[in-house]
Amino acid sequence: MGRKTIGRIERWTISLKPEIDQLLEKVAKERGLNKTDLVESIIIEWAYNHGYNKIIHFNFRDNSITVWDYLLNETVDLHYDSVKKTLICSRCRTTYCGHVSAAIKIPEVRQKLKKGQIVVEDL
Ligand SMILES: [Zn+2]
């Protein structure tokens, strides 16, 4: 289930209360991610929301937006679900993550939001 890692990675061990571990396990299972990918997604979301990550490049296509994630050093695809009118992040497998929240700050995406062509889930 985990993705192939390109480049150098840092490994470290953390200690969590069982309740937190179980919560991560539950959410990871719901999203179809492993816990490492979920934790990375959570950290990326935090980074975007606190100015530690930025979108320096994006491509806007009919049904997807490809963003360059500066921290991950890779592209991330956000697919537009025309039925639900939501953006789904292919990496985080959710409609709300750092990539989606960063994408909705892009003027072209904001316009679609204003017109109701895209609906973004609130937390
Ligand atoms: Zn994401």
pLDDT tens track for 18-41: 999 999 999 999 999 999 999 999
Instruction: Identify the band that residue 2 occupies on the pLDDT scale cut at 50, 70 and 90.
Output: low
Q: 67: CA distance to ligand 1 center in Å?
A: 10
**pLDDT (tens digit per residue) in 77-97:** 999 888 888 899 999 999 999
Q: 44: CA distance to ligand 1 center in Å?
A: 8
Instruction: Write down the pTM of the prediction.
Output: 0.83
Cα separation of the two ends of the chain? 26
Nearest to 82, CA basis, from 118, 120, 31? 118
Contact assessment for residue 90 and residue 79, using Cβ atoms and an 8 Å cutoff? yes
> What is the predicted pLDDT for the residue at 122?
60
Q: Is the pLDDT score of 58 beyond 60?
A: yes
Contact assessment for residue 71 and residue 98, using Cβ atoms and an 8 Å cutoff? no
Q: 115: CA distance to ligand 1 center in Å?
A: 23
Q: 13: CA distance to ligand 1 center in Å?
A: 23
